[in-house]
Amino acid sequence: MASTLEKFIHSLDFRALPRVLQIQSGFYCQGSVCGMFGNECSLSTEEVIKVVGFKINKLVASICEDNKGSQFSAKVELPLNFPGLYKVVADKTPYFSIEEIARKVSIGPTRFGQPCFYSTTDIKLANFTIKHDEQITFNSVEEVHGTMVVNCVVVRNNWSHSFTLPFSQKGEFYECEDDQMYTLKEIAEWKISKSRNRIVKLSNTLHLWNSSSPLPENFDGCLNLMPVYEVEVVLKYQKNIVHILSDLDVEVKDVTDCYDINSFLQPLSLEDIFERTSKEFPMVAEIMEGPSGSKKPYKLLSTGKEIVIYKKYQAARVLASEMRSDSSKRRYLIPMNYKGKFKRSPREFPTAYDLVIARSEKEYLHVVATKAFVSPHEELFSVSVGDQFLVQQCQSSEVLYEGRKKLIDVLACEQILSDSYKKVLLPMYMEGGFVEVIHDKKQYHLSEICKEFNLPFNVKVSVRDLSIEKDVLAAVPGLQFEEEITDSYLLISSANSPVESWEIPVHRLNMLVHLLSKDVQTAVPPVTRTTVEEISEEEYCMLRIYENLTLPPPPRPPKKPT
């Protein structure tokens, strides 16, 4: 049965890819596709194409200014980076099975991918009953003993109850109200269900848009968002990926079940390669679509190049940030084989509580006060700017508070005087300012720092890595090592001149390859070059989110008595 390309893509489950489509009507030769993506594309009747991927490219928004979401009038196009924060309006159209929810709604490992629904009737499980109108959080999808299920959570009396719901579970399910704020990009990636539009309420306009805004002046109404997808297709007997928009005026028919899909080249992402078994490595591949970027080794990963992929593995990296006061910090992932050396740099501590966290059993923490503090208790010390302390330990102490003795947490220190030391107590809630005094002049390799000290840790490069043509870290005046993370990598080299190999990140490098039936000359990779990876602010935030998902929250700092 034929349908428009737009309708087909809107209803297509990403897990059903790839799909082979036959063009039923329409001819497309020039215009926006060539201009936007640099690919000239003609789609004529009865031509066969293979859809290998799609993602939201932009949003078409119908404007409703009555703030009720009932009457929508003018339509405007909004790019995904259009500024503002938006509140999602709960969808009033029900879902009739758990499978329908799993197929149409994005369910993933972050808070964005944990949608909430309620059932209009009670759901009786083996040892648990979900009450009607009770909020159910959908956390993940998995296969259990051959049955697809959704892992769910219900919270009752501050107690979480975990259970699974099979895809076969029928009912009438409605989306719960969501009080979170999202950017348009987050809504496009996580909050627009397949075959459905999404109504949002503009909550906070960020005045960052340089050109004239497509929205009415002082607009505070609702928007009905319809996604326009960028579709990745492979034309028969061609190697390159062609990008077209889903609103292209053509009709298509799904002929996957009656067509030899192997007659097309099979594009594979780095995630697809990583999912292969270790026995399948090494392998030779040709790049069908290279990543953007001009830095080594990425500028060598251009379309048409052949590479050898030797192995897949998890590798440790240190997440580091440039030390500067403004928001334009540069972020880096530093491999453990970095051959440069570092010297310690002073850390800054805004409160006495931060001193407790930073202190080490190996050495005393020596700090200088940069902000005065007057203690409200005679038993505790008042700090002046320039006072120096050796931080010792956390303990409890009695203070006189409103005529009564009270036990509070304090920080025991030694004040450094000109010719002696004085034992003093600082309140843990003290809001002051301290700068570390560094006595250690030793130069450290990265692995030594991770082994001997707690992160975060401030450093600067004292000896650059001579194996790197241009060591970007050497020019940075100061770095803060924030945490050690583990990430997925592939080890690759050029197939034609394998003089060196590189580690490329699986989840941060967008490229497509297809495998070649060629033998690898040697299974032993050449020397691996050190690559310090500079990452974007968005990639930095996602790394911190994923790395800290399983970590318990830090303890709350003590509050100042009122």
Would residue 127 count as lying in a domain?
Answer: yes
Give the residue with greater pLDDT, 298 vs 250.
Answer: 250
pLDDT tens, 266-295?
888 899 899 888 888 999 999 988 887 666
Q: Are residues 550 and 449 in the same domain?
A: yes
Q: Residue 532 belongs to what domain range?
A: 267-345+442-561
Q: Are residues 61 and 96 in the same domain?
A: no
Alpha-carbon torsion (482, 484, 490, 496), positive or negative = positive
Q: Would you say the pTM of this structure is higher than 0.75?
A: no
Task: Tell me what pLDDT residue 398 has.
Answer: 82
CB atoms within 10 A of CB 510: 11
Residue 336: is its pLDDT beyond 50? yes
Task: Tell me what pLDDT residue 339 has.
Answer: 92
In 331-403, where do the E strands start and end?
Answer: 331-335, 341-344, 348-351, 365-369, 388-401
Last-in-domain residue among 176, 197, 217? 176
- The residue among 521, 347, 358 whose CA lies nearest residue 437 is 347
Q: Are residues 534 and 455 in the same domain?
A: yes
C-beta separation of 169 from 77 below 8 A: no
Q: Are residues 195 and 63 in the same domain?
A: yes
Q: Are residues 124 and 81 in the same domain?
A: no
Paired residues of 154 in beta bridges: 161
Residue 550: is its pLDDT beyond 50? no
Task: Tell me what pLDDT residue 552 has.
Answer: 47
**What average pLDDT does the segment 506-522 reach?**
86
CA 154 – CA 134 distance, rounded (Å): 8
Task: Tell me what pLDDT residue 265 has.
Answer: 79
**What average pLDDT does the segment 529-536 reach?**
87
Neighbour-count burial for 461-486, b at 16+ CB within 10 Å, e otherwise: beebbeebeebbbeebeebbbbbbbe
pLDDT tens, 177-225?
998 889 898 999 889 998 899 999 987 665 545 556 787 777 778 899 9
Confidence of residue 470 (pLDDT cuts 50, 70, 90): confident
Distance from CA of residue 262 to its chain's centroid?
A: 34
pLDDT tens, 355-405?
888 887 778 899 999 998 888 888 888 899 999 999 988 888 888 877 788
Last-in-domain residue among 383, 403, 436? 436
Confidence of residue 296 (pLDDT cuts 50, 70, 90): low
CATH number at residue 362: 2.30.30.40
Q: How many domains is the chain partitioned into structurally?
A: 4
Report DSSP letters for 414-433, one per residue: EEE-SS-EEEEEEETT-EEE
User: Where is average pLDDT lowest: 22-26, 40-44, 369-373?
Assistant: 40-44
Confidence of residue 35 (pLDDT cuts 50, 70, 90): very low
Task: Tell me what pLDDT residue 72 has.
Answer: 67
- Report the mean per-residue pLDDT for the chain: 85
Would residue 182 count as lying in a domain?
Answer: no
Would residue 96 count as lying in a domain?
Answer: yes
Highest mean pLDDT (candidates 19-33, 141-155, 196-210): 141-155
Q: Are residues 556 and 454 in the same domain?
A: yes
Q: Are residues 372 and 384 in the same domain?
A: yes
Report DSSP letters for 499-529, one per residue: S-EEEEESSS---EEEEE----S-SS--PBP
Let me know how long the chain is.
562
Would residue 233 count as lying in a domain?
Answer: yes
Would residue 503 count as lying in a domain?
Answer: yes
Task: Tell me what pLDDT residue 463 has.
Answer: 94
**The two three-digit tokens of residue 260, written as one number:** 């030899």
Q: Are residues 331 and 476 in the same domain?
A: yes
Q: Are residues 122 and 205 in the same domain?
A: no
- The residue among 355, 341, 366 whose CA lies nearest residue 479 is 341
Longest CA span, the chain? 93
Q: Are residues 36 and 171 in the same domain?
A: no
Task: Tell me what pLDDT residue 43 has.
Answer: 76
Contacts of 217 (CB under 8 A, 6+ apart): none
Last-in-domain residue among 436, 458, 482? 436
Q: Are residues 209 and 62 in the same domain?
A: yes
Reduced 3-state DSSP string for 358-372: HCCCCCCEEEEECCC
Task: Tell me what pLDDT residue 32 has.
Answer: 36
Would residue 183 count as lying in a domain?
Answer: no
Residue 518: is its pLDDT beyond 90? no
Residue 415 identity: Q
Confidence of residue 40 (pLDDT cuts 50, 70, 90): low
Task: Tell me what pLDDT residue 27 has.
Answer: 53
Residue 523 identity: A
CB atoms within 10 A of CB 357: 14
Would residue 53 count as lying in a domain?
Answer: yes
**What average pLDDT does the segment 64-88 reach?**
78
Task: Tell me what pLDDT residue 389 has.
Answer: 94
Burial of 362 per CB tally in 10 Å (0-12, 13-18, 19+):
exposed
Burial of 305 per CB tally in 10 Å (0-12, 13-18, 19+):
middle
Task: Tell me what pLDDT residue 460 has.
Answer: 93
Task: Tell me what pLDDT residue 551 has.
Answer: 45
Q: Are residues 162 and 232 in the same domain?
A: no
Would residue 121 count as lying in a domain?
Answer: yes
CA 50 – CA 47 distance, rounded (Å): 10
C-beta separation of 94 from 193 below 8 A: no
